[in-house]
Amino acid sequence: MMTESRNNLKFSSDLGLEMYQLIEQLYPICRSITGNGVRQTLKIIQQLLPFLNIQEVSSGTPVFDWTVPREWNIRDAYVKNAQGERIIDFQKSNLHVLSYSLPVKAKITLGALKYHIFKIHDHPDWIPYRTSYYNERWGFCLSHNQLQELADEEYEVCIDSSLSNGSLTYGEYFLQGESQDEVLFSCHVCHPSLCNDNLSGIALVTFLAKHLSVLSRKYSYRFLFIPGTIGSITWLSENQTQIFKIKHGLVLAGLGAPGKYTYKKSRQGDTEIDRAMIHVLKHFGQDHEILEFFPYGYDERQYCSPAFNLPIGCLMRPMHGRYAEYHTSGDNLDFVHPQYLAESFSTCFATLQILENNKTFVNQNPHCEPQLGRRGLYNTIGDKELAMLWVLNLSDGHHSLLSIAERSGLPFAQVQSAAEILSKHGLLKEL
Amino acid sequence: MMTESRNNLKFSSDLGLEMYQLIEQLYPICRSITGNGVRQTLKIIQQLLPFLNIQEVSSGTPVFDWTVPREWNIRDAYVKNAQGERIIDFQKSNLHVLSYSLPVKAKITLGALKYHIFKIHDHPDWIPYRTSYYNERWGFCLSHNQLQELADEEYEVCIDSSLSNGSLTYGEYFLQGESQDEVLFSCHVCHPSLCNDNLSGIALVTFLAKHLSVLSRKYSYRFLFIPGTIGSITWLSENQTQIFKIKHGLVLAGLGAPGKYTYKKSRQGDTEIDRAMIHVLKHFGQDHEILEFFPYGYDERQYCSPAFNLPIGCLMRPMHGRYAEYHTSGDNLDFVHPQYLAESFSTCFATLQILENNKTFVNQNPHCEPQLGRRGLYNTIGDKELAMLWVLNLSDGHHSLLSIAERSGLPFAQVQSAAEILSKHGLLKEL
Amino acid sequence: MMTESRNNLKFSSDLGLEMYQLIEQLYPICRSITGNGVRQTLKIIQQLLPFLNIQEVSSGTPVFDWTVPREWNIRDAYVKNAQGERIIDFQKSNLHVLSYSLPVKAKITLGALKYHIFKIHDHPDWIPYRTSYYNERWGFCLSHNQLQELADEEYEVCIDSSLSNGSLTYGEYFLQGESQDEVLFSCHVCHPSLCNDNLSGIALVTFLAKHLSVLSRKYSYRFLFIPGTIGSITWLSENQTQIFKIKHGLVLAGLGAPGKYTYKKSRQGDTEIDRAMIHVLKHFGQDHEILEFFPYGYDERQYCSPAFNLPIGCLMRPMHGRYAEYHTSGDNLDFVHPQYLAESFSTCFATLQILENNKTFVNQNPHCEPQLGRRGLYNTIGDKELAMLWVLNLSDGHHSLLSIAERSGLPFAQVQSAAEILSKHGLLKEL
């Protein structure tokens, strides 16, 4: 029943460090929506989650309105100047290559090269991250400063990539619980060397899975490591008959950097996961913002499409597009910190504890208050007594513990603890 | 389908001028709740709306709890001083006579005359507008300054009016649409030389009717030019069996002067016309206030009486009683402007476009997002794409385009345009 | 129908004085949850309410989860110093003795005595009020200053009390109305010399009962003078089959001191008593706060326990625990004032008048407004006319007069008065 760390939601800094180390290990890999980068990533995760199931779905497989694309792989890429020096070098940063770039090998003028170059103005030292999955082209991304330095001469461009039939790869990890009802965690694994978006999400999902694997669980848990958009579409398409089991879910994306938590509610907007997450954010006292669902962002777009409308929200810190480092080389190993990873873990875990423990009880002495004093329950500290009174008063079969926590303003753990004491004394029974 | 000016809600200044010219033409006429002033007014409107139906309802006709009153007409009125000079002259301003004054011709002292005089303090140069429809009396209205100047001498008073059996006159203009469902516009035509209240409303209703007459229409439209209170009561009484057809409606009163728009909701408070009007006012960015229904004001009092409870709101600018010029000679041709008339026209027309186009669609690809990219719909400008995602996500059969506009915060026209593009690509079907 | 003072909710200062005089008379008595202090108190109330029923429930009687406790009585108590002087004297203030103290007679050192002493820091001159009903012990309460003065010498302590089988005493007063439906008033009578908490509540309930006894009443009224917690539990236990008759109720506690009114809603939160009380507080224009129900405080805890969930709120001024004098000797005859008692009476009485007069009418002329003018109802003062229009517009069978008052923002009395006028003219009929 996941009670082990209930009263200690601040996990040790060791855990933050372990997540950070996984990020360090995954950082150099060039991931995209398909290809060996994803496979290599999942293999590393498998060292922590040995039963991680690595799935391959062939290119060309129809998945709802989409088709699994050809597989993209890249070995090397560079731009050499007239002196033969690699002035743009994929080996230094895989962000330098437009993701899904077609192979190219050519001599080209600066003017022609510029048509294939992406940059950002605001941070002249940062390389932007750009993709072109469904529009066949090639390109290089570089910093504004790098671009300024390019002399007007002939360049040799080389992208040693391949785009050909293969498969889309994703990871799935399942933990059976007492119930068939499932909690889904989903993170995207398609971004190359970008730490917050989304190596942080990958690390969190990995360690939540690892942590939950050794606890007893009311719910079954499913953890998806998927390429963004096409990955969730593929998974939903392949698992249509099982989707009804998902009772709660979270997309985790960007949770290792400083800034405000943003929780984006599910499309339904008032589901238990929404309420549990909002409760946790409120009571942890950390700066946060709650947003109504909107149909762009991460894979919640697909999970919350009208035919599924799943109770799945999205937690971010900070929110995509709201930090300068977003989708640039600034989102590197300096941008994420073990401390924030640990805090995000605690936030997620506390939310799970609400889901796991959110029972509804019935007061067995509903006529007036029971005499707590003769049971030795009255002279306890004020807050405990208060929680007991709330639980007794609202345990009429219509209020779950989360409802009681919401109405009383008390933290869930305190309400849960009161319910356990009262149950022990025969004053409550689970509905 | 009224699409002609969707993207051009700012109508030409010509339209404002045309409305202003109608006001100029109607300004000198002495209107009341019955009589030739109303007939003359409707004849002028008929020049713009040739199929305007001018109805006469005989004095004495029972209309619910009321009776159509006797008809009042006035030819001349004055107060002459001892020198025989017309010091108060109906020919100079018809506001000088208390509306529905009984005929009188007498010599009278200043003291006795004062019992029959109405004035206002706050604006010493303005003549107030007063009526006594159901209480038989006579009176003159004059400015505070004029009153001060009256010497203590004998006066000759003359009101050459008549109050006798005749009829109540109103105008009705109907435009058949594809559907029997109707949109009602109502304005009061009983005020004499007052421009904002309500020659502005008359002008707006006239030009909305004229403008709609040449467009294709989903709804049928009915336009009423009626004396206030007794006119709407009479019309409702005479049309009881047809009233169920009215699905939306607006009372337009005072819409040509500077100041804040006030939209007073229907008694139901959350009807489509309420939501459409609020959406338009919000997105037009003009200063406005939304008021809940209250049972006094204009003819919405009757339309929203409990037995009818019609979805009819009232748009004003500014609201009655909230401007100094209200019901005084200050509400003259200088107080209203073509610009405000044109703005009010745009506001009303934009609201109608929502009603006309507020369909509910069903996403034909509800499992995940459809691949907009392969349809060439993805690399369009950001807002358009966003509107498409909202329409797709919420088109589950439970959200009209107006609901989608409300939830997304996007302007209706943008949502409508997205729905049209998606429909063309087979991604949406109308419910 | 309780119309006598409708338009004069400010009761005479005489009434405040009469309530204050009752408080003066009851102040010296040492009350607790059982014993002669309560009996003596009820006897005095009986002088004002001759038909007050004084009930005795034997010690040991099971009442839901509780048992009626043994009866506690006290004759004298003191602490004498080495010189034999009564330096702590029950005769000077009954607050000096911990309520329900076991009898004791002993010589004791200062050190040992201190284990039995209760004091408060913040107000060094005030004696705190403390109880130990269900934990057998003895103790003295004294001011911080008094404690400082105690020399390190031997003391003689004496509490001449008894705790033995007897009974719990409460008072009940019933007024039959036209209907079996009841309004309940409840006040706690277990506090010793404390004026606001709750001699003020006792005085209010007494005089409300006295006042209502000579008026005609739609509802029956029940007034309970009970010891806190165990008293309401006992009464509920003894009256289980009758409780369904209670349609509205108020716990009155602490209503004679300066400060903000606090109305704590019933657990249901939107009952008629809640709405009526909120309406009155809002329209009386006095400083007030509305709180949602919470399961601690006064006897509303029991009335609103889940099996009963009665529509009973609690009115306080100021709220328990929010004033320094609360549960100390500072809550004395100087702390309460006739003026505040009279105001609280008016507030309660105005609320009752809403309950008594909150009918639902049906407009007999629902098609448009009726012609008020020909009935002489139009040229009355603006507000009256306005109230009539609201009543007519909303009297569709779905809006009570209180609903109309809430929606219109008009005071209930004005809405009621309009309904009466309209009824006289045949324009309304009670549903």
B372-424 tens-digit pLDDT: 999 988 765 567 899 999 999 999 999 999 999 999 999 999 999 999 999 99
Using the predicted structure, report yes or no on whether residue C5 has a pLDDT greater than 70.
no
Type of residue at B416? Q
Per residue in B393-404, is it b (16+ CB within 10 Å) or e — as a string?
bbbbeebbbbbb
Mean pLDDT of C232-241: 97
DSSP single-letter state for residue A128? B
Chain segment C292-349, per-residue pLDDT in tens: 999 999 999 999 999 999 999 999 999 999 999 999 999 999 999 999 999 999 999 9
Average pLDDT of chain B, as a whole number: 95
Mutation site for A-interface testing, chosen from C64, C137, C268, C300 by largest number of A Cβ within 10 Å? C64
Lookup result for tokens 């009621």: C416
DSSP per position, B223-258: EEEE-TTHHHHHHHHHTGGGGGGEEEEEEE---SSS
Using the predicted structure, report yes or no on whether residue B3 has a pLDDT greater than 70.
no
DSSP per position, B307-362: TT--SEEEEESS-TTSSTTTTBTTSSTTT--HHHHHHHHHHHHHHHHHHHH--EEE
The Cα–Cα gap between A185 and C416 comes to: 59
Contact B367 A267 (CB under 8 A): no
- Give pLDDT, residue C381: 53
The Cα–Cα gap between A356 and A245 comes to: 16
- Give pLDDT, residue A147: 95
Per residue in A73-102, is it b (16+ CB within 10 Å) or e — as a string?
bbeebbbbbeeeebebebeebbbbbbbbbe
Using the predicted structure, report yes or no on whether residue C7 has a pLDDT greater than 70.
no
Residues 6+ apart with CB under 8 A from A401: A357, A358, A359, A360, A361, A391, A412, A415, A416, A419
The answer to whether the beta carbons of residues B194 and B94 sit under 8 Å apart is: no
The answer to whether the beta carbons of residues B229 and B236 sit under 8 Å apart is: no
- Give pLDDT, residue C214: 96
Using the predicted structure, report yes or no on whether residue A43 has a pLDDT greater than 50.
yes
From the list A240, A305, A309, the residue facing B369 with the nearest CB is A305
Q: Is C306 on the interface with A (CB under 8 A)?
A: yes
- Tokens for C321? 């625990």
- A81: cis peptide before it, omega within 30°? no
The Cα–Cα gap between C81 and C62 comes to: 43
Residues forming beta bridges with residue A175, ordered by sequence position: A221
- What would you report as the CA-atom Rg of chain B, rounded to the nearest whole angstrom? 25
Q: Is A394 on the interface with C (CB under 8 A)?
A: yes
Which of B166, B258, B217 lies closest to B349 in space, CA to CA? B217
- Give pLDDT, residue C70: 98
The Cα–Cα gap between C36 and C30 comes to: 8
Contact A389 C134 (CB under 8 A): no
The Cα–Cα gap between B367 and B235 comes to: 52
Using the predicted structure, report yes or no on whether residue A4 has a pLDDT greater than 70.
no
Neighbours of B84 (CB within 10 A): 8
Q: What share of chain B is helix, strand, coil (3-state, %, to 5)?
A: 35, 25, 40
Q: Is C374 on the interface with B (CB under 8 A)?
A: yes
Q: How many helices (H) and strands (E) does chain C have?
A: 12, 19
Q: Is B389 on the interface with A (CB under 8 A)?
A: yes
pLDDT band at residue B10 using 50, 70 and 90 as cut-offs: low
Q: Is C376 on the interface with B (CB under 8 A)?
A: no
pLDDT band at residue B2 using 50, 70 and 90 as cut-offs: very low
Average pLDDT of chain C, as a whole number: 95
Using the predicted structure, report yes or no on whether residue B123 has a pLDDT greater than 70.
yes
- Give pLDDT, residue C378: 79
Residues 6+ apart with CB under 8 A from C113: C79, C140, C150, C155, C157
- Give pLDDT, residue C6: 41
Which chains reach chain A with 3 or more Cβ–Cβ distances below 8 angstroms? Answer: B, C
Using the predicted structure, report yes or no on whether residue C93 has a pLDDT greater than 90.
yes
- Give pLDDT, residue C284: 87
DSSP per position, C209-271: HHHHHTS--SSEEEEEEE-TTHHHHHHHHHTGGGGGGEEEEEEE---SSSS-EEEEPPSSSSS
Using the predicted structure, report yes or no on whether residue B40 has a pLDDT greater than 60.
yes
Residues 6+ apart with CB under 8 A from B24: B333
Length of chain A counted residue by residue = 431
Using the predicted structure, report yes or no on whether residue A284 has a pLDDT greater than 90.
no
Q: What share of chain C is helix, strand, coil (3-state, %, to 5)?
A: 35, 25, 40
- Give pLDDT, residue C9: 46
Locate the DSSP E strands across C133-181: 140-141, 154-164, 167-175
Mean pLDDT of A149-157: 95
Chain segment C127-156, per-residue pLDDT in tens: 999 999 999 999 999 999 999 999 999 999
Using the predicted structure, report yes or no on whether residue A292 has a pLDDT greater than 60.
yes
- Could you tell me the CA-to-CA distances from C22 to A5, B137, C211, C325, C407 in Å, in that order? 58, 62, 15, 20, 40
3-state secondary structure A3-62: CCCCCCCCCCHHHHHHHHHHHHHHCCCCCCCCCHHHHHHHHHHHHHCCCCEEEEEECCCE
| Residue A229 φ/ψ region, left for φ over 0, alpha for ψ in the -120 to 50 degree band, beta for the rest | left
Give the minimum alpha-carbon distance from A259 to chain B in angstroms, rounded to a whole number: 26
Chain segment B337-354, per-residue pLDDT in tens: 999 999 999 999 999 999
Neighbours of B77 (CB within 10 A): 25
CA-based max dimension of chain B: 92
What part of B 126-185 touches C (C-beta under 8 Å)? 134-135
DSSP single-letter state for residue A64? T
- Give pLDDT, residue C359: 97
Lookup result for tokens 């100041």: B259
Using the predicted structure, report yes or no on whether residue B13 has a pLDDT greater than 90.
no
- Tokens for A96? 């330098």
The Cα–Cα gap between B10 and B339 comes to: 10
Phi, psi of A153 (to 5 degrees): -140, -175
Question: Over pLDDT 70: what percentage of chain A?
Answer: 96
Using the predicted structure, report yes or no on whether residue B4 has a pLDDT greater than 50.
no
Using the predicted structure, report yes or no on whether residue B215 has a pLDDT greater than 60.
yes
ipTM: 0.94
Give the minimum alpha-carbon distance from C185 to chain A in angstroms, rounded to a whole number: 17
Contact A369 C308 (CB under 8 A): no
From the list B66, B296, B308, the residue facing C371 with the nearest CB is B66
More confident site: C116 or A378: C116
Q: Is A308 on the interface with B (CB under 8 A)?
A: yes
Using the predicted structure, report yes or no on whether residue A379 has a pLDDT greater than 90.
no
- Give pLDDT, residue B286: 86
The Cα–Cα gap between B69 and B30 comes to: 18
pLDDT band at residue B5 using 50, 70 and 90 as cut-offs: very low
Neighbours of B273 (CB within 10 A): 25
Mutation site for A-interface testing, chosen from C294, C304, C309 by largest number of A Cβ within 10 Å? C294
- Give pLDDT, residue B1: 41
pLDDT band at residue A24 using 50, 70 and 90 as cut-offs: very high
- Could you tell me the CA-to-CA distances from C357 to C183, C215, C318, C352, C394 in Å, in that order? 14, 13, 29, 8, 17
- Residue numbers in C near A407 (CB within 8 A): 292
Give the minimum alpha-carbon distance from B135 to chain C in angstroms, rounded to a whole number: 9
